[in-house]
Structure 1
Amino acid sequence: MASSKIILTAICIASFYLSASLAFPGHHEGAYPVGNSGLSPDYYRHTCPQADEIVVSILKKAIAKEQRIAASLLRLLFHDCFVQGCDASVLLDDTEEVVSEKNAIPNKNSIRGFEVIDEIKAALEEACPHRVSCADTIALAARASTVLSGGPYWELPLGRRDSKTANMKLANKNLPPPNATLHRLVKFFQRQGLDKVDLVALSGSHTIGMARCVSFKQRLYNQHRDNKPDITLEKGFYYTLASTCPRTGGDNNLRPLEFVSPSKFDNSYYKLILEGKGLLNSDQVLWTGRDPEIADLVRSYAENESLFFEHYVNSIIKMGNTSPLVGSNGEIRKNCRRSSILTASRKADKMAIPGSASKPY
């Protein structure tokens, strides 16, 4: 019954945003390149029709246990897609053949939620063996996390396959740091084929979740390497942050990315930026970075949550279509942490070594 209510609610929301997209036709013409990417919302209709229901069921329990996990899983999608496309490379652990992206500077001791992805994948494998890829599992978890947090629903193109390897070097190069300037942020997004609208809309993901003090401490004490705070920080907000994040120590202390409604996916993020209360430098520069187009988008989203949701849906679909592996490319991993093909190769090598083969009984 609960799952039926979720599905009916999602359908109603989807209908609303379809109407909204017709009312605002100017943004992102061609933002749904499903045919070009080889992805389709109906990809698992016959092979695993219960996939989304499985994801939602597990996530409801995980989010009830720890609200922060919704933002963590949404972030996984970004950190996956920005590195060699949306291919679940971010989930691979270190092996003899793979240097994990988890150890890249933007990811180490930062990205999380892997155990929840493992749980979802195990349930999918039990229900539909060797059907749903880890890359699609991340995408499904990101959408469910957004919807369960009160955000918009979107028709999710599916059919991605999994990479056989990771790319830590590219993770260090392509993932925007929290202290990035606006100019650099625009460049990071352009590298992925994303424009300024995508940058501002997708930054709204910071309406949920937490950040460690180390991510923004520079703004409090040494913004321009002059031992002074960022002058764009609202004074009261500065003192609140300083009480949580001392000059020395406390790097792992947490602050909500958006403190008004940190567990609800809404447009409060943009309202706070207008007040000088964006947490990360990469948040606040959307308003103070002297780009009229970007500043106008921040103001528009602060005033119109429906417009923000509409643009967010367009942009996250566009990002999710970044260089997917489809057809015979890549693989479908059984264990998201390891490449099935490399595991099989190692077993074959071991069998080939004299004396190393397993006994038949």
Structure 2
Amino acid sequence: MGVNLGHYCCVMLIVLVLVIVMMLVLGKETKSESLKNGYYSASCPRAESIVRSTVESHFATDPTISPGLLRLHFHDCFIQGCDGSILIKGKFAEQAALANGGLRGFEVIDDAKAQLELECPGVVSCADIIALAARDAVYLSSGPSWRVPTGRKDGRISLASEASILPSPLDSVAVQKQKFEAKGLDTHDLVTLLGAHTIGQTDCLLFRYRLYNYTVPGNSDPTISPSFLTQLKTLCPPSCGNGSERVALDIDSPSKFDVSFFKNLRDGKGVLESDQRLWSSDYETSDVVNKYASTIRGLLGFSTFDKEFAKAMVKMGSIEVKIGVDGEVRKVCSKINY
């Protein structure tokens, strides 16, 4: 009797373990399957076209909004997952973090949300609007387009203290890899997504040290090509302004989404040190840089980078998404529902 009881207990323990494992696996599958193409096809058929027309309208008056929307999506996904938490306003919210300084595009998201609330109230999440707007911004900048899986819910938590996990322009490649891996993104994704720097600008403050005081006062970063160093010093004099002067991250085609950014890294013309290190200090990342720098757009107008960037964006857009009761659909993107 004791042997049978022990056998029974062992069997039940095994069954319990299997049930727990299945619940975990099914939980993960449910989470990933919650995002799908055409999520709003029945509940709000014009959702994507409304977001697209809104982005087009803002882009027509200010093309620099494209990199702003792309960066907004990136920063949203890295903190609390792709849940629109970057849009919440507050003294201690994510927007207040130093790493989120200079974020742009909030007015575009708010504009699209206002129109969507008139079309189909309480249906389309702010998190999905960000993801769709980022896609449309890339396309308007001569980049690729892709189908964006939707169905994200908006988060209710936004903390500036969590912004330390964001990649920094001062990060080594090893640190960049760690931060991306923590979000389920590999080295190939890292290089591909940083290719977004083919459009946009940065402040002199973030790289001036490379020009004048790299390791000791008066010296420059040796990975910068001599001719480009002269160009950067002209754009960012040592004692001019407060460092807020803007410089294009891709000096050759600053408003066009292409592979020029990678060619620049290969030629020692990366503006941010974290970008240039992808070529100069890591064999794994330099291989990816070289692959993209060596490609051209094919007959259909797409390059290898275009295709890989679209894949990486879908992957990034799935980071820690919230579904069901884990989130909500905000009525106003800048504040949680009450």
Indicate whether the TM-score tops 0.5: yes
Tell me, in whole angstroms, the C-alpha distance in 2 between the residues paired with 1:272 and 1:37.
39
Is residue 243 of structure 2 the alignment partner of residue 251 of structure 1? yes
Q: 2:56 maps to what in 1?
A: 60
Q: 2:7 maps to what in 1?
A: none
Is residue 138 of structure 2 the alignment partner of residue 146 of structure 1? yes
Tell me, in whole angstroms, the C-alpha distance in 1 between the residues paired with 2:85 and 2:207.
27
Instruction: Give the 3-state SS of the residue equivalent to 2:98 in structure 1.
Output: coil
Instruction: Give the 3-state SS of the residue equivalent to 1:340 in structure 2.
Output: coil
Q: After superposing the two structures, state which structure 1 stretch, 51-60 or 243-252, moved more.
A: 243-252
Pairing partner for 2:47 from 33, 48, 51 = 51
Is residue 63 of structure 2 the alignment partner of residue 71 of structure 1? no
Q: 1:158 maps to what in 2?
A: 150
Amino acid in the other structure paired with 2:194: S
| TM-score for the superposition, normalised by structure 2 | 0.86
CA apart distance, 1:35: 7.1
Pairing partner for 2:166 from 175, 196, 211 = 175
| TM-score for the superposition, normalised by structure 1 | 0.81
Is residue 178 of structure 2 the alignment partner of residue 187 of structure 1? yes
Q: 2:98 maps to what in 1?
A: 105
Identity of aligned residues (%): 42
> Which stretches in structure 1 are left out of the alignment for 5+ residues?
1-32, 342-361
Pairing partner for 2:280 from 268, 283, 288 = 288
CA apart distance, 1:167: 2.0
Q: 2:13 maps to what in 1?
A: none
CA apart distance, 1:224: 2.4
Pairing partner for 2:227 from 227, 233, 236 = 236
Instruction: Give the 3-state SS of the residue equivalent to 1:39 in structure 2.
Output: coil
Is residue 337 of structure 2 the alignment partner of residue 337 of structure 1? no
Amino acid in the other structure paired with 1:85: G
Tell me, in whole angstroms, the C-alpha distance in 2 between the residues paired with 1:34 and 1:320.
16
CA apart distance, 1:37: 4.4
Instruction: Give the 3-state SS of the residue equivalent to 2:171 in structure 1.
Output: coil
Instruction: Give the 3-state SS of the residue equivalent to 1:112 in structure 2.
Output: coil
Amino acid in the other structure paired with 1:330: G
Q: 2:207 maps to what in 1?
A: 216
Amino acid in the other structure paired with 1:94: G
Q: 1:317 maps to what in 2?
A: 314
Tell me, in whole angstroms, the C-alpha distance in 2 between the residues paired with 1:224 and 1:126.
56
Q: Deviations over 1:96-145 (max 9, x none)?
A: xxx2111112112x111111111111111111111110000100100000
Tell me, in whole angstroms, the C-alpha distance in 2 between the residues paired with 1:320 and 1:244.
35
Tell me, in whole angstroms, the C-alpha distance in 1 between the residues paired with 2:183 and 2:216.
30
Amino acid in the other structure paired with 1:285: R
Q: Deviations over 1:293-317 (max 9, x none)?
A: 2111101101124211121111111
Amino acid in the other structure paired with 2:156: K
Tell me, in whole angstroms, the C-alpha distance in 2 between the residues paired with 1:259 and 1:67.
16
Tell me, in whole angstroms, the C-alpha distance in 1 between the residues paired with 2:98 and 2:323.
29
Q: After superposing the two structures, state which structure 1 stretch, 233-242 or 243-252, moved more.
A: 243-252
After superposition, the Cα gap between the structure-2 partners of 1:272 and 1:304, relative to the gap in structure 1 and judged at 3 Å, is same
Tell me, in whole angstroms, the C-alpha distance in 1 between the residues paired with 2:243 and 2:136.
30
Tell me, in whole angstroms, the C-alpha distance in 1 between the residues paired with 2:173 and 2:30.
30
CA apart distance, 1:175: 0.8
Amino acid in the other structure paired with 1:106: A
Q: 1:347 maps to what in 2?
A: none
Tell me, in whole angstroms, the C-alpha distance in 1 between the residues paired with 2:182 and 2:32.
19
Whether the 8 Å contact between 1:90 and 1:166 is mirrored in structure 2 is: yes
Tell me, in whole angstroms, the C-alpha distance in 2 between the residues paired with 1:112 and 1:272.
25
Q: Deviations over 1:296-347 (max 9, x none)?
A: 1101101124211121111111110001001222111111100112xxxxxx
Q: Deviations over 1:210-256 (max 9, x none)?
A: 11111211211222254421111111111111112122334111111
Whether the 8 Å contact between 1:34 and 1:157 is mirrored in structure 2 is: no
Q: 1:207 maps to what in 2?
A: 198
RMSD across aligned positions (CA): 1.5
Amino acid in the other structure paired with 1:114: F
Amino acid in the other structure paired with 1:328: V
> Which stretches in structure 2 are left out of the alignment for 5+ residues?
1-28, 297-302
Amino acid in the other structure paired with 2:160: M
User: Where has structure 1 moved over 4 Å in runs of 4 or more?
Assistant: none
Instruction: Give the 3-state SS of the residue equivalent to 1:158 in structure 2.
Output: coil
Tell me, in whole angstroms, the C-alpha distance in 2 between the residues paired with 1:49 and 1:334.
19
Whether the 8 Å contact between 1:286 and 1:294 is mirrored in structure 2 is: yes
Higher Rg of the two aligned structures = 2
